């Protein structure tokens, strides 16, 4: 009997970095990749069981956290079950035969533009237009065939849409990586899990963040990331999206987590999963 393909959702179109992360993470498995327009569309599809997994970018080594995804992770009942770190190399893509000197309009996702700020500083004639994502911008340029248009996207998008690479590796930081999370509506806990992601809201008291961090420090637990986000409906109050190392069955982790209610009004564990150590450093 043939194995049924695993439905996996991602934001964008074929050739997007999210699509590339999906293929690499599920390499060797039969998957049915389904693309969506928005990050929230992916999360909704996972939460409603329309796809088993979703792939979303959550952090870039050059521009930091992707705040929309942090907020969606808090709002929906989903779990993080894995991650994939992907090296990002942006290129300037145009319809074949286009000259670099003729480009006046460039389309891409805002993250793509922000990661290529130096290139556009050196080419001020190029106006930047925000688009859904990098691969969708490449698709647009391929459709328009306009000799004055270009897109910021990856080599895979050039291959996908038959575009010419006018400039390769235009991202300012040459060590440019994006961390993608794999989400599911079911929690999955495997023995090799070594990263825990959680969301906490602190009591509005002096020293509450200090005491929260002390719980992890006292148990010798490493915190690899912390981001603050505005709490909806509560002006000037924030919740924190945190990554720590460890496994939920570790006594030290259990002890630290048991102490959190003393200083928090909300504590939600989003997942415990194997970190991608390939390019994390």
To the query of whether residue 178 is one of the catalytic residues in this protein, the response is: yes
Query: Can 180 be counted among the known catalytic residues?
Result: yes
> Which of the residues 134, 178, 197, 264 is marked catalytic?
178
Question: Rounded to an integer, what distance in angstroms lies between the CA atom of residue 239 and that of residue 139?
Answer: 37
DSSP state of 221: P
* DSSP letter string, 242-275: EEEES-TT-HHHHHHHHHGGGTEEEEEEEEEE--
What does residue 121 show for φ and ψ, rounded to 5 degrees?
A: -65, -35
Crossing angle (nearest 10°) for helices 67-75 and 39-47: 20
Catalytic residue among 36, 39, 180, 240: 180
Q: Which residues are catalytic?
A: 178, 180
């Amino acid at each position: 009997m043939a194995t049924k393909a695993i439905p996996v959702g991602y934001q964008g179109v074929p050739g997007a970095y999210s699509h590339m992360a999906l293929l690499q993470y599920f390499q060797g498995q039969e998957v049915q990749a389904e693309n969506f327009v928005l990050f929230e569309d992916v999360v909704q599809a996972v939460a409603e069981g329309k796809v088993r997994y979703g792939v979303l970018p959550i952090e870039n080594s050059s521009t930091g956290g992707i705040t929309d995804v942090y907020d969606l992770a808090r709002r929906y009942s989903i779990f993080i079950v894995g991650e994939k770190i992907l090296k990002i190399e942006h290129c300037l893509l145009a319809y074949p035969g286009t000259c670099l000197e003729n480009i006046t309009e460039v389309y891409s996702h805002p993250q793509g533009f922000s990661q290529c700020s130096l290139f556009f500083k050196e080419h001020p004639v190029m106006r930047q237009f925000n688009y859904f994502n990098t691969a969708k911008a490449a698709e647009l340029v391929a459709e328009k065939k306009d000799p004055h248009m270009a897109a910021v996207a990856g080599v895979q998008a050039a291959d996908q849409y038959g575009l010419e690479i006018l400039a390769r590796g235009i991202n300012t930081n040459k060590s440019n990586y994006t961390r993608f999370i794999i989400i599911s509506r079911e929690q999955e806990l495997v023995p090799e899990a070594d990263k825990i992601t959680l969301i906490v809201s602190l009591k509005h008291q002096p020293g509450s963040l200090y005491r929260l961090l002390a719980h992890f420090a006292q148990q010798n637990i490493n915190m690899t990331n912390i981001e603050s986000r505005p709490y909806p409906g509560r002006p000037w109050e924030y919740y924190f999206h945190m990554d720590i190392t460890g496994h939920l069955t570790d006594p030290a982790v259990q002890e630290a987590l048991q102490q959190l209610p003393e200083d928090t009004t909300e504590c939600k564990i989003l997942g415990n999963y194997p970190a991608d150590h390939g390019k994390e450093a």
